[in-house]
Structure 1
Amino acid sequence: MTERIAVPDGGIWVRPSLERDDEVGLGWKLRHAPDSLSRADQITLAEIVDAYGYLLVQSTTEQRNRVCAAIRRHIHREQTND
């Protein structure tokens, strides 16, 4: 379930995979079945690494909080629509 989430500031973020998701996440594949990673999976993992650095080092607290809140709202809407 690798999808992208658009946030109000115009950014696009990779949707986090969660343990309760139906599909095996990229983290699991990377740890347990790295040979199964596609090129698209590798690109997504690179995006996640870049996003992590951006959130921790380059963004302000306010920017980080807005991005995290928008992603949480998106996931909450998914879960309540199921």
Structure 2
Amino acid sequence: MAYTSEDMRLMGGVPGQQLFIYRSEDEVATVVASGYFDQAVEDYNLDTGDIIVACSGEDMAAAVDLLVATNTDGTVTVVNGS
């Protein structure tokens, strides 16, 4: 599977520190892979320092992880802060 814009929602924040929730049946190992959230740069202006609460796995409830994004020229990497 892959990132789906409809599964991500902006919860709040200010530029440079936005908070998102993302729900996916992808396993957390897939969600944290480099490039997984690249399209979110265009969809949501995802940028360095933004935080993603990721609910992933079976029924989008197998794991909850707190991710911090880094955007380097449109390529997004995340660090799992859980």
The two structures have a TM-score, normalised by structure 2, of 0.27
**Greater strand fraction, Structure 1 or Structure 2:** 2
TM-score norm. by structure 1 comes to 0.27
Which structure has the greater CA radius of gyration? 1
